A and B are shown apart, each in its own frame.
Chain A
Amino acid sequence: MTDRTGQTPLVEMRDICISFGGIRAVDHVTVDLYPGEVVGLLGHNGAGKSTLIKVLSGAYRADSGDVLINGEKATIENPRDARRYNIETIYQTLALADNLDASANLFLGRELVSPRGFLDDAAMEAETRKIMARLNPNFRKFSEPVSALSGGQRQSVAIARAVYFNARILIMDEPTAALGPHETQMVAELIQELKAEGIGIFLIEHDIHAVMDLCDRAVVMKNGQRVGTVNVAEVTDEDILGMIILGKKPPQAV
């Protein structure tokens, strides 16, 4: 594992708390992420992973705690703020407008416009064709609403949207849940590629093997609390399973 001492983390979420109607969904959780690193977030359904990460993407606001980007305190009150910090999110639900086509979804909220201020659909489609050629060369349905696409094609549109705008911090919430083996492999390769470019990635994932393959560190959550953080190279999948299921912290964890 690379030695991170002295390096400023890309993201630091300190002591984050969020409650919904008296239930502590996230309870004093601290996580960090370095450039070029993939940090897995694991835990049962309802452990608080998605909630925690939505604080970073601007969908929720924390009741208490700080978010630091490059060591400086960041105010993220809505998804627009998150985008300003180059935080891009691939949501589990994909967050696509089903009635719009791929390029309209890819550029949603950040449309390319002509000098007179009108949408430049042709330019957006051309850009979409370029990035899709890289991510999913078989993609052809550029002028159909995304409701007509398969699960994998929809996923690639959501991924393209996150990748296209030069993300520094990428949040992937179960990116391979709807995918077949071939497409899952493509996502894995993409993660390696993005990592090599120095992008920090938070990966929410249920599949332990995917975590062991892709992640540098893993943060395990249970009942809104952080069980521990481990360097993936130093533990076995049984150790991680024990953390998820029993909340048992192995000696290597911090």
Chain B
Amino acid sequence: MSQPPVTTQPDSQRDGPVARFLRATEMDTRLLGMIGALLLIWVGFHLYGVFFKGMGAFLTPRNLWNLSVQTASIGIMATGMVLVIVTRNIDLSVGSILGLCAIMMGVMQARILPEWLGLGHPAIWIISIVFGLAIGAAIGAFQGFLIAYGRIPSFIVTLGGLLVWRGVAFMVASGQTISPLDPTFALLGGGPYGAVGEKGSWIIGLLACAAILYLIWSGRVRRAKHGFPQRPVWADVVLAGIGCGVSLGAVLLVNAYPWPIGIVTQYAAAHGITVPPEGLFISHGFAIPVLILIAVAILMTILATRTRFGRYVFAMGGNPDAAELSGINTRFMTVKIFALMGLLAALSAVVSSARLNSATNALGTLDELYVIASAVIGGTSLSGGVGTIYGAILGALVMQSLQTGMVLIGFDAAIQQVVVGSVLVLAVFLDIAYRRRSK
């Protein structure tokens, strides 16, 4: 496990400085463990490249930027899967829902709407997305209804859904690939134009810093109001420093990855800019799908921890009978949770099909397994009641890092599968061992 930098006077009590630092900042040691594992994977792949391939390709702005984009689709769905698994359910159909929604949105924006509104109409991408999200939510709600009111186990309902929705997706477009998509829609998948650029990234980074400072400050105010014990000031200062450091570091990173020469030449020609002989450095900045993931993560965290809905989700996972006896409408809650999962699968469909600039029938195949694995690696307990949104996103990042890293150092697909599968089992074992020890 990684150990955070220690900044305080190392004496007094029996506890070591690390233990006291952790207690004062109320940091989740599991979270630190996951970040440590992630950094280990990153450094490991980079050094492997340095020593055996003559070049470390992992810890470069380009690779990390791509990694962030590739994590977006699975990460978005993993946030919803946390709520599903916390309530002791499972959703095996998310990959197929993703495929169906992508096809539906593809048909909508490439075939139906251009006929009505004319090709390139600015409302096409918005209508298509709203349509896709509505379909995803409706499918999820329908499955949730069968689970809650039909009393069919979620494993069975969504296993059926896995087959059904993939089949429907094939029927909708007769198995054809729909391409190209609406140009504005395609920006949501990332790429040089689908990123917010240098200035935009700085604005986002600074807003993030402001938000972190506000949260820490308002937390102190709230504790003071009720006379609860405060965290030491130095601990809050350190937390604020880490938060702002990570935000601004991410900005520096994404701004260090320039557009490729071909795109720059194209862009310069289109905008009448003369490219100087040493070349133009145009930063990517944050990719739009990554910003979508961050927004989803923030909203889902608020939903899970700050609202009644989230409280009920965890109560249902901890003790379904108690939740029911407390007057919670657990059946309707189940419908809402699955509808939310369907909505997020549709949002992932936007990101993945936009990234390919095409909607294919096979999009999202096997995603359900990666999504479930992300949530579980991120500390969501299959026995219910335990899980965090940020954990699931870190889990998605770990999975994607492993895959990207193995591609970079030239492992073939068979070894990749062996490694990813083993890591899943190992991660869950470590988590169980950790929980047993901390009890």
Contacts and interface: CB of A to CB of B under 8 A. Distances in A.
Interface of A: 57, 59, 78-80, 83, 89, 91, 93-100, 104-105, 108-111, 113, 117-119, 122-123, 125-126
B327 A80 contact: yes
A39 B319 CA distance: 30
Interface string B124-157: 0000000000000000000000000000000000
A228 to B, nearest CB: 30
Interface residues of B, number: 28
Task: Give 9 closest A-B pairs by Cβ, nearest first.
Answer: A97-B318, A99-B318, A109-B326, A99-B385, A95-B322, A80-B327, A109-B327, A108-B326, A97-B315
Nearest to A95: B322
A79 B223 contact: no
Nearest to B315: A97
Given A100-B314, A118-B306, A108 B226 contact: no
Interface in B375-396: 385-386
Given A111-B308, A113-B308, A97 B323 contact: yes
B342 to A, nearest CB: 24
B432 to A, nearest CB: 16
A110 B305 CA distance: 16
Contacts of A110: 327
B225 to A, nearest CB: 7
A230 B75 CA distance: 64
B228 A96 contact: no
A108 B306 contact: no
B226 A126 contact: yes
A18 B106 CA distance: 56
B317 interface: yes
Given A91-B325, A100-B315, A100-B318, A117 B307 contact: yes
Contacts of B318: 97-100
Contacts of B223: 122
Given A95-B326, A97-B322, A108-B328, 17 more contacts: A79-B325, A83-B327, A89-B325, A94-B322, A98-B385, A99-B317, A100-B311, A100-B314, A108-B311, A109-B323, A109-B326, A109-B328, A111-B308, A111-B311, A118-B302, A119-B307, A122-B228
